[in-house]
Structure 1
Amino acid sequence: MKASKLKQLGIIDSQNVITLAAELCCNADNKVCMYRECMTCKNKSLTSLKNPSETGITWWYQWVTKKEEYEKEIEGEKEKIAVTKTVKQICEGNAQHLFEDLEKDLNGRVCKHLFNIKHQYAQLQSLHRTLRDDEVILHVDYAENWQCKYAKEVQQVHFGASHRQATLHNVVMYTSNNTLSFCTLSPSMKHDPAAIWAQLDPVLQFLKVNYPRVDKLFFISDGPTMQYRGKKNFYLMSIIPFQMGFRTVNWSFLEAGHGKGPADGVGATIKRTADTQVARGSDIPSAKTLYETLRTLTKVHLFYVEDDQISRVSALLPKELPTIKGTLSLHQVICTTPGTIYHRVLSCFCEREGVCGCFQPKAVDLAPQTVGSIEPQIIEGTSGRGPLCPLDEITEDLKGKWCIVIYENDPYPGIIEDVDEGAVEVKVMCSAGQNKFFWPLIEDKIWYTQDNVMTLISPPEKINSRHVQGKCN
């Protein structure tokens, strides 16, 4: 609106902020220029058609965020409640000051914002065009909760909490040769990281069954810090997909205010279909009824998630996680090793197998390491030839005992569940850093031959509500 007013006053020749940003930069496609770090153009000024100081006092519209207080009666007593509102208001001032404010805005955040929008869209379009058989893109987003309703209602239903709501979490999946839509319905009103991964779980299970070659996940979403762009989500993305057998997780965030995409269309389709059924006489009083009603009426793959499934995922979260500096400015998070993430200010996909050096990625260990390593404890029933030797024989009394097994050259602790000739069935834990293990959300229980059982150990020590560690040296 500042540019519009200056254009109206004849001080600048364009009100288009993209044109104005390009005027300030050597190259509008260069991050260094648009981030105002270029030594050549960082001090450039806008060209004015006439001297702004000659115009004098003027007015313009501007969006302003401000706090307001109002009184609310609570239990017979009046209390002051503070709220934050964003309003459009008229500002008055000197045209010279308006011109300077516009330049300050362009240099401070507008140029960076415009570059981020263009770069993120370009990178994600390039990823889509070059998607491989072992890769998948998952564009995810929450829809606004749908209010459950009856075909006919008495007046009292309109008041109070008579109407329940259903949460809709939408996913559009792109493989190298197909596009599929998903919607997970839930009665839970939670939209936090635990809810996100509980609602992603059936989608990822579908992916594992129907596209077994896929082992690289590329997520796309908007960037609300209480949902997708936060350390709790980063922790869960560094743990859960690896439990399910995926090798790489890559999450890219669209620039603020530009997160709308095909996932929003999925939610709109589900809501419109539900409203149509209500208009035709169907009652949909709950999220479960919504799922049962729509699952045969739409091509969108529907799943239903209960509250307890979200609670189970929430139990995976440690009480404390390290703070990730610059969370609001990052646009990509990559995980190739459980418990460790890399983040950077912009997305880049020039290296699919690992993490390229573009835009200076920074590593964060979300599963703090502990000093030492697992030291097997030789107990009755094991060989006496040393601490790291295979079992001499497989017997029934091994059931229920702890052991260390070797899987893909790495050791994992677990409990022996069953025995057979020359093999044991072991329920194993997942690694969350050096000498730190936890029980996976999806039970990992398979048969190991006798030569893959290193030895028996004493039960590991519990270090918090979720993790255990072996005895340290």
Structure 2
Amino acid sequence: MPLVEEKLQNGYQEDTQSTRRTQTSDPTQSPPGPMTSTPKRAMSVKKKLQLTKKLKITLTKLEKKNKELDNLRKKIKRLEAKNSARLHQTQRKLADRRKVAQNRRHDMRRQIHTFLHRDDITTVINGKTGEIRRNGAIFRKRSLTDTLENLHKVFLSENPSMKISRSQFCKHRPLWIVSPKVKDRETCACKLHENFTYKVKKLHQLGLINCNKPADLVSLTVCDLSNIDCAYNRCNTCRDSMLPVVMDPATKNNIVRWNEWVTKTSPYSKKSSDGTTTEVEGKHTALEIKAASLQQLVEKTTNDLPRFKVHLFNIAHQFREIRQLKERLVEDEVVVHFDYSENYNCKWSKEIKDTHFGGGHKQVTLHTGVLYVSEGQPEAFATVSSSLKHDAVATWAHLDPVWQHIKSSHPTVKHVHLVSDGPTSQYRNKVSFYLASTVPFIKGFKSVTWNFTEASHGKGAPDGVGGALKNLADRLVAYGTDIPDAEALLHNLSEQSSVKLFKVTEEDIETWRLIATEPGKIRVREVSCFCKPACDCYTPKEVILREEKENEDSIGVGQWVLVKYDGCLYPGTPSAGPRVTTGGAGVPDLLRPLRGEWLLHGTIVGDEFEVETMESAGGNCFYTPATRIPGDKVWYFKQNILDLIPEPMPTTSSARHFSVAPEIWAKHK
């Protein structure tokens, strides 16, 4: 401002001096002519002051704007610093959230994979079509047992804390989990399951029930299907539950038709080696169309319901217990899951017509399995043999190298859990039980359990091992390798496969037929449990395979004996025996689970005696009924014949009641 005022003041002084000089110039000078320009009139003082004032005002505004701009710059810097810190914090939070979300997605994907690999959710597709290759890796296909929509509901019901849409659930499905196809159809379906399903679907089709799935129908008749008392009709609340059927009396006699698998015995002609033809009877199973009234169909379904409840419970219980057993293994435990694979048909890479159609191909037995230990990956193994025997002795010959492998590779293992299906010809018989009660202890193990899956529901990892080996063998043949016998199969598979392979000869099998003479002791129960070693869950029964020689030699027809039936003592006399049973119909009630389904430790078979017992009148008092019914004579195993006794003495003068010798009664009571 002083500089501007100074300039204005100097300008004013200069103008004043110029005016004075003009006024004091020569008076004789003539005024300018008409063509001469007139000089500009000087700015007045007033205007100059006004201009000065305007300049001052403008300058003041500029200074004010500069201050505002400085404040804005400072504010922008503060906001930038604040936003930078907030942005950094937000980025850190987003990174943490992204990491948590990734971990959650990874855990969800892992849980879905584990869920889809369960044996009750998917089944292994065996055979040549059961493999899928991606990027050099080989995967074994598994077929879904239900639609992904229904499996998604099952997954959410088992994991209520997880929220995942059906599309995301389907997105996490592995590529080797496939929908079932016709070529992959089930050819080992459960007869009980299929027949009950046919009846349920027919009732649903007729509008008598509101569900078309057997599991849904069973859930309507029990409190809790996972409770063994409800499944085995021992629950006081639901034991008398009936099918929720609404039937019109006017239509109950209408004839309806449904499908059912039926096994029949029919004669057929068999040609002997000498050319003669004989008529023999054989069993065959076929799908037939059954016809009955609507009321009879409802009655049949009602009668089949208790057995099917047990069947359904056993399936889920066995799979769950075995799965949890694998998850909770400790260092000194091992699970051995094994099964016979379908025999491999040997072949050459190039064959002449006579060989190809002449039936000159040999077969090889493959006994496959998987070892599960507490640490590390499961180990697949297989035994190869030219012997086609699949009986109990052959089975233990195939298991012998597995015992040796466990002792050498896992020396800390002391407890072995065997898992298999339950055919009586291979696993579930007296020879296997005897060997299971002796051989593992000879090998140095402290305990062994044998767990059988439910009938017709035993597909598992061993079937996948067998399919992979046979697929590999067929690929080798396709590339020019000849596999004419068991030796060639073992040699070629050993070089190409990571499966642990063992050789079993005919001599090895025959050696096991000469194993020891003294049986051991086993405990049996209806279903599996692994809460602790030798637990008492589900009421196990102890069976001593050791039999007294003197008792065996002295039991005869007409000799008085004391037997134990359903926990009670009865005197009686053998009317027939001994006989040798092969399991099934002759098994006493002491060892038979409800509905005749065997799951764990199987049936005990051996010599039996038919004993005609007296009726109990309470305590040590018995009488002979006036009339006999067929149920009075029961076949007893020798271990249930407790003692040889003298003839019971009458306790009354009328000789209507009798008693066993007091010392014998006290001894066994």
TM-score, normalised on structure 2?
0.51
1:362 to 541, 544, 554: 541
Aligned residues: 350
For 2:524, the equivalent position in structure 1 comes to 343
For 1:374, the equivalent position in structure 2 comes to none
For 1:7, the equivalent position in structure 2 comes to 204
For 2:500, the equivalent position in structure 1 comes to 301
For 1:173, the equivalent position in structure 2 comes to 371
Query: Once the 2 structures are TM-superposed, how far is the Cα of residue 53 of structure 1 from its aligned partner?
Result: 5.2
Query: Once the 2 structures are TM-superposed, how far is the Cα of residue 76 of structure 1 from its aligned partner?
Result: 3.4
Q: Any gaps of 5 or more consecutive residues in structure 2?
A: 1-197, 551-669
Distance 1:370 1:311 in 2: 27
Query: Once the 2 structures are TM-superposed, how far is the Cα of residue 242 of structure 1 from its aligned partner?
Result: 1.2
Distance 2:457 2:372 in 1: 20
Query: Once the 2 structures are TM-superposed, how far is the Cα of residue 38 of structure 1 from its aligned partner?
Result: 2.4
Query: Once the 2 structures are TM-superposed, how far is the Cα of residue 365 of structure 1 from its aligned partner?
Result: 2.1
Does 1:21 pair with 2:218?
Answer: yes
What aligned pairs does 1:159-198 form with structure 2 within 5 A after superposition?
159=357, 162-178=360-376, 179-198=378-397
Query: Once the 2 structures are TM-superposed, how far is the Cα of residue 27 of structure 1 from its aligned partner?
Result: 2.0
| Cα deviation 1:112-161 (Å, max 9, x = unaligned) | 10011111111111111110000000001000100111111122223555
Distance 2:298 2:549 in 1: 56
Query: Aligned in 2, Cα 1:356/1:72: closer, same or farther, shift over 3 Å?
Result: same
1:80 to 261, 279, 289: 279
Distance 1:346 1:365 in 2: 20
Query: Once the 2 structures are TM-superposed, how far is the Cα of residue 91 of structure 1 from its aligned partner?
Result: 1.3
- Of stretches 72-81 and 140-149 in structure 1, the one that deviates more from structure 2 is 72-81
Query: Once the 2 structures are TM-superposed, how far is the Cα of residue 317 of structure 1 from its aligned partner?
Result: 6.0
For 2:313, the equivalent position in structure 1 comes to 115
Does 1:155 pair with 2:376?
Answer: no
- Of stretches 70-79 and 231-240 in structure 1, the one that deviates more from structure 2 is 70-79
Does 1:289 pair with 2:488?
Answer: yes
Does 1:47 pair with 2:244?
Answer: yes
For 1:334, the equivalent position in structure 2 comes to none
SS in 2 for 1:11: coil
Does 1:275 pair with 2:455?
Answer: no
When you count helix as a share of all residues, which structure comes out higher?
A: 2
- Paired amino acid for 1:350: C
Query: Once the 2 structures are TM-superposed, how far is the Cα of residue 52 of structure 1 from its aligned partner?
Result: 6.6
| Alpha-carbon contact 1:138-1:217 (below 8 Å) kept | yes
SS in 1 for 2:455: coil
| Cα deviation 1:87-124 (Å, max 9, x = unaligned) | 111111211111111111102x1011001111111111
When you count strand as a share of all residues, which structure comes out higher?
A: 1
For 1:239, the equivalent position in structure 2 comes to 438
2:235 to 34, 38, 62: 38
What aligned pairs does 1:435-454 form with structure 2 within 5 A after superposition?
none
Query: Once the 2 structures are TM-superposed, how far is the Cα of residue 309 of structure 1 from its aligned partner?
Result: 0.8
Query: Aligned in 2, Cα 1:370/1:2: closer, same or farther, shift over 3 Å?
Result: closer
SS in 2 for 1:33: helix
Distance 2:268 2:443 in 1: 51
| Alpha-carbon contact 1:11-1:51 (below 8 Å) kept | no
For 1:228, the equivalent position in structure 2 comes to 427
Query: Aligned in 2, Cα 1:366/1:160: closer, same or farther, shift over 3 Å?
Result: farther
Query: Aligned in 2, Cα 1:238/1:161: closer, same or farther, shift over 3 Å?
Result: farther
Distance 2:402 2:353 in 1: 39
For 1:405, the equivalent position in structure 2 comes to none
Task: From the CA coordinates, give the structure whose radius of gyration is larger.
Answer: 2
SS in 2 for 1:295: helix
- Paired amino acid for 1:227: Q
Query: Once the 2 structures are TM-superposed, how far is the Cα of residue 356 of structure 1 from its aligned partner?
Result: 1.5
* RMSD (Å), alpha carbons: 1.7
- Of stretches 118-127 and 362-371 in structure 1, the one that deviates more from structure 2 is 362-371
Distance 1:253 1:212 in 2: 26
For 1:91, the equivalent position in structure 2 comes to 290
Distance 2:446 2:249 in 1: 58
- Paired amino acid for 1:173: L
Distance 2:485 2:323 in 1: 38
Distance 1:349 1:298 in 2: 34
Distance 1:76 1:225 in 2: 34
Larger relative contact order, structure 1 or 2 (CA cutoff 8 Å, min sep 6): 1
- Paired amino acid for 1:8: Q
Query: Once the 2 structures are TM-superposed, how far is the Cα of residue 302 of structure 1 from its aligned partner?
Result: 0.8
| Cα deviation 1:352-390 (Å, max 9, x = unaligned) | 2xx22112212222244679xxxxxxxxxxxxxxxxxxx
| Cα deviation 1:259-299 (Å, max 9, x = unaligned) | 00001000001000000011111111111110011101011
For 1:313, the equivalent position in structure 2 comes to 512
Query: Once the 2 structures are TM-superposed, how far is the Cα of residue 176 of structure 1 from its aligned partner?
Result: 0.3
For 1:460, the equivalent position in structure 2 comes to none
- Paired amino acid for 2:310: K
| Alpha-carbon contact 1:148-1:163 (below 8 Å) kept | yes
Q: Any gaps of 5 or more consecutive residues in structure 1?
A: 322-337, 372-473
| Alpha-carbon contact 1:53-1:96 (below 8 Å) kept | no
- Point out 4+ residue stretches in structure 1 off by more than 4 angstroms: none
